[in-house]
Amino acid sequence: MTNVIAFKKPKRSQQHKGKFLCQQGHHRWKVDQQQHFHSKQGKLLTLYRCQRCGITKTKAL
């Protein structure tokens, strides 16, 4: 006989936790320290990553 696992549907607040502000364009940017140098152009870069949704943006110095 098989084991039956009951799955609960996550609440709507848990599914979209923190993503509503990002959808409206209000990201929470934090500097990502992993990558500092662009290899093809030879420029120093600052890589920003949103803490809520994970989108990245770069800014050249």
Mean pLDDT of 42-50: 83
Confidence at residue 40, expressed as pLDDT on a 0 to 100 scale: 66
Q: What is the DSSP letter of 44?
A: B
What does the H/E/C string look like for 21-51?
HHHCCCCCEEEECCCCECCCCCCEEEEEEEC
Does the pLDDT of residue 45 top 90, yes or no? no
Tell me: the pLDDT tens digits for 7-17?
A: 888 887 777 77
Tell me: the pLDDT tens digits for 17-43?
A: 767 788 888 899 999 887 666 666 677
- What band does 53 get if pLDDT is binned at 50, 70 and 90? confident
